[in-house]
Amino acid sequence: MYPNNFYFANKPLRTREDFKGMKTRSHSTVLGDLIDGMGANAQFVAFSEVYTALERGILDTAVSCGTCGSGLRWYEVSKYLVGPIVALGHSWVTVNGDRWNAMPADLQGIIQEEAAKHEALTMKNATTIWDQNGIDENVAGGMEYIEFNDELVESMRQAAISKVLPNWITRAGGLNSEAAKIYNDKVAPLLRVRVLPDGSAEEY
């Protein structure tokens, strides 16, 4: 698991209107879709160049994890830490299928059990320790922390439904792709958001 992401901004972001037109550093296509869906303009800028881009006004804001930004002292060139954007990505442990199938069932069970423990612990660390460390480090550096209000949380959700999910389905190969079928079968019932035949997404 990775920590959540935050906006490092030079103006307070308290309403969706505040995001409009903001030149915002993104570090992934999915995040870029979310930024665009909020009315901002996603910019792909190398991590090492963000400090200078914020300092010179090339960027209005940048998105990264809290400790990622504080590690490069972004608090010196931005005033507000806004978020969090929920961004719990996974790291994968991959085992060759032949080797896995050759393992005794009890050993497979041990590996799966320990992996689940590791996943739960790292998720807890990401959300309760790493996120808070990032907030504390940036506030100590002079930033003001603005936590998303309910309006912005809902705005992010709607941007994900209208922009992020349809674009991801397209990149994954379209509605007939295995990814789309797995999403609608396994994920949609949990999120209550499904992909429709025309490629759009809706809540249900």
Domains of the chain, CATH where assigned: 5-89+131-161 (3.40.190.170), 172-204 (no CATH)
Q: What tens digit of pLDDT does each residue of 125-151 get?
A: 888 899 999 999 999 999 999 999 999
What's the pLDDT score for residue 1? 61
Q: What is the mean pLDDT of residues 1-27?
A: 94
* Whole-prediction pTM: 0.85
What gap in Å lies between CA 192 and CA 197, rounded to an integer?
A: 16
**pLDDT tens for each residue of 52-90:** 999 999 999 999 999 999 999 999 999 999 999 987 666
Cis peptide before 197 (omega within 30 of 0): no
